Amino acid sequence: MEKCDWRFQEKRDKVSNVNTEGNRMDRKVIALDIGQVCVQVRGELCFAKLGYRSAAEVPRELFVLNDEMEKGRLTADEYFERFRELTGSELDKEAMLEAFCSIIAAPVPGMSELVARLPEHGIRPVFFSNTSCLHLERVRQIFAGAAAVPEGVYSFEVGAMKPESAIYEAFEQRYGRPALYVDDRPDLIAAARERGWEAHCFNGAADLEKTLRNRLLVHCN
């Protein structure tokens, strides 16, 4: 797990040393959210492994702790230490890691295949997600389409989470405004559209493929 013990400052330096023409449009870049777009997120699986029967039983402090992890403010070891302090849990580190990552359940049907085909049509998919380094590792393990998405802008790198403006700005600095941004959350879509981004609210792989054909003239068969 040591390779995931990154902090915000270390990653922010990499994000800031990129293109500053944030208002340009790159018609080959698609910004892809991860959770509920590329992979299914099943909180109940994680809660059960931690000994909770439902989200209602999970202490609010753990959700705050998770946000701190996703903003890159905690290393994996710090996260697990704080978790033990808050809950009194006796789970060992490996058991906690498995519980933490079990929330990433399975690929969204059809998305691995669709994403894998995009580069063949001149489309450059880029991950754009609120996530932690540990969850990202799990995504790359189970989502076959991730092989076509080597790049991304992540909350744990930037130190900010969508819909905060800083993470959208980080994306624009590195890639410009994307030709299309895909997310399942209307509030995050709205924040992107306020910045002039073209955005699509995800409703399945088939619907996204139709949108790509209509907007980007991509034939993904």
Mind giving me the DSSP string for 118-146?
A: GGGGT-EEEEEE---HHHHHHHHHH-GGG
Span of 12-21, 32-41, 89-98 with lowest mean pLDDT: 12-21
How remote is the C-alpha of 174 from its chain's centroid? 16
pTM, whole model, 2 decimals?
A: 0.84
Mind giving me the DSSP string for 17-66?
A: SS---TT-EEEEEEEE--BTTTEEE-HHHHHHHTT-SSGGGS-HHHHHHH
Q: Which CATH superfamily is domain 2-39+108-216 in?
A: HAD superfamily/HAD-like (3.40.50.1000)
Q: What is d(CA 144, CA 84) in angstroms, rounded to the nearest whole number?
A: 33
Q: Which amino acid is at 93?
A: K
For the cut 70, the answer to whether the pLDDT of residue 211 exceeds it is yes
CB 123 within 8 A of CB 30: yes
What are 17-33's pLDDT values in tens digits? 344 444 444 458 999 99
Q: What is the DSSP letter of 164?
A: S
Looking at residue 219, its pLDDT comes to 53
What whole-number percentage of the chain has pLDDT above 90?
Answer: 62
CB 192 within 8 A of CB 199: yes
How remote is the C-alpha of 53 from its chain's centroid? 26
Q: Which amino acid is at 104?
A: I
More confident residue, 88 or 8: 88
Kind of pairing between the strands at 39-41 and 104-107: antiparallel
More confident residue, 188 or 13: 188
* Domain layout of the chain by residue ranges: 2-39+108-216, 43-104
Band of the pLDDT at 220, cuts 50, 70, 90? low
Beta carbons within 10 angstroms of residue 174's beta carbon: 20
Helix axes 93-101, 76-87, angle to 10 degrees: 100
